[in-house]
Structure 1
Amino acid sequence: MSENVAFELADTDAEVDNEQTPSAEAVLAYLRGHPDLFLDHPEILDHIELPGPPQPVVSLHHWQLRRWRGQALRHRHALNQLHQVAAENAEADRLLHRFCEGLLNATDRSPATLEKQMQADFEIDTSRVVRLADLDGETRKLLAGWLDNPTPFCGRPHDTVRESLFSDALPQTGSVALIAVPPRESGPTRHIVAMGRRLPDGFNPAQGTHFLEQIGELAGAFLEQGPSDRERH
């Protein structure tokens, strides 16, 4: 579709809307002919701004109603936010369930399998699962402070860390989520799960990390369960 056609369609839609919009006189005539409209449909009042008394007269009744209406609007906004959070949590649970199923059905419990599963289930551009011992000394030094308290990191990494983990698979403007995979038993971190998005704010410091922590726990169980454990089950 060309740009001109798009504008033509937009103009056509606007003309249709204008033709379907009644005039003020038509609305007033309808209300005069249906005086019980607001009694039959009180929900309409939720979307109408009623005028107050002329200044400087103040009606306490009108002021009270405005306060109640403001509170109702704030409560509705808060409820809509809760619904949005619930929907996002439900989607996260669905993705995590699918990810878990993929890991359970995998026949090869290797970092490469884990990388493929993450890219199949999550909206990311690239992923890496590396052993901490396989990273060069400079990269381990840059990650040392984070590994002392390894809450998942979200944001723009140091260029050395980005190049060490992703090589050319992630541009300098990309963003990452780094997860220190917890070992099954107490001990130091052995693996790092890294997910990358090409968008600068694809992973950002403001987002929650609980979902990433769950991915790290599943990744740790997947990597540390050897073939003998699988055969016993």
Structure 2
Amino acid sequence: MKSNHKDAMNPITEDDIANYLSNTPDFFERHAQLLAQVQLTSPHGNRAVSLQERQAEMLREKIKALEHRVMDMVRHGTENVVTADRLQRWTRGLLTMRDPRALPTRIAGDLQTLFVVPQVTIKVWDCDTSYLHEPYAQQVSEDMKALATSLTAPYCGLNAGFEVASWLAEPQAAVSIALIPLRPEPEAPAFGLLVLASPDAHRFNAEMGTDFLERIAELASAALSRLRA
């Protein structure tokens, strides 16, 4: 009587059944006919299917998910190869530039063309006196210089009325923006600012990785060191 009272107070749960079957692998060997009798609802309609058919469907779904993952990996790998090739072409162009005076324009133009960025501009300060009258060395406020120096990594996000938008050919089309500080070494003050802009609000966003932009900053900074006083 005591045992029956305990069973009534603690009825068998689904977890108890699942644990029993998990810990008793020979159960279905002793009751093989149950496997053929079990009927489940198919996820692809309300029809009933056998346990074996349901397992086959689950396996097909897993295979399909793995195929999608492989396709994504291949796609990302292809994109990375294309990006690396473009970066190499851009770097080669910087190395072959003989006239330092044209470097900022070349940097901005190549980035815009190779990486399909709608708008790109660049400003450089603390230049040698022979470059001070170039457009890229003018109209930079002390506030923007301070902002560039304060950036420890590229800023990516919506254009919150930044002064740099006025440097662009179409300021009103700069919805999202990337501000990339240029500096001779990691802890040094910035001596320039590279600006990328897009009318797409999601092109440059706060969640995106900045590793590639930091690589761009390092290469551009090294090339532009030829302009410095």
Instruction: Choose the corresponding residue for 1:129, options 107, 119, 122.
Output: 122
Residue 150 (str. 1) matches residue 143 (str. 2):
no
Instruction: Pick closer, same or farther for the CA change 1:149–1:119 going to 2, 3 Å.
Output: closer
Instruction: Pick closer, same or farther for the CA change 1:150–1:111 going to 2, 3 Å.
Output: same
Letter paired with 2:158: R
CA distance in 1, matches of 2:85, 2:198: 21
CA distance in 2, matches of 1:139, 1:189: 10
Report deviation, 1:132: 5.9
Larger Rg: 2
Instruction: Pick closer, same or farther for the CA change 1:196–1:136 going to 2, 3 Å.
Output: same
CA distance in 1, matches of 2:62, 2:156: 36
Give ranges in structure 1 of 5+ residues lacking alignment: 1-48, 228-233
Residue 88 (str. 1) matches residue 93 (str. 2):
no
- Under a length normalisation based on structure 1, what TM-score does the superposition of the two structures give? 0.62
**How many residues are paired up?**
173
- Under a length normalisation based on structure 2, what TM-score does the superposition of the two structures give? 0.63
Report deviation, 1:76: 0.8
Letter paired with 2:152: P
Report deviation, 1:160: 3.5
Instruction: Pick closer, same or farther for the CA change 1:224–1:201 going to 2, 3 Å.
Output: same
Q: Secondary structure at the match of 1:171?
A: helix
Instruction: Note if contact 2:173-2:198 (Cα within 8 Å) is conserved in structure 1.
Output: no
Letter paired with 2:188: G
- CA deviations over 1:167-208 (Å, ceiling 9, x no partner): x53325532221112314741222111122233333333433
Identity of aligned residues (%): 25
Q: Which residue is 1:171 aligned to?
A: 172
Q: Which residue is 2:26 aligned to?
A: none
CA distance in 1, matches of 2:53, 2:46: 8
Instruction: Choose the corresponding residue for 1:76, options 54, 67, 72.
Output: 67
- CA deviations over 1:36-66 (Å, ceiling 9, x no partner): xxxxxxxxxxxxx9x89953xx522122212
Letter paired with 1:224: S
Q: Secondary structure at the match of 2:98?
A: coil
Q: Which residue is 2:98 aligned to?
A: 107
Letter paired with 2:120: S
Q: RMSD in angstroms over aligned alpha carbons? A: 3.1
Letter paired with 1:136: S
Give ranges in structure 2 of 5+ residues lacking alignment: 1-41, 127-138
Instruction: Pick closer, same or farther for the CA change 1:88–1:206 going to 2, 3 Å.
Output: farther
Instruction: Pick closer, same or farther for the CA change 1:197–1:208 going to 2, 3 Å.
Output: same
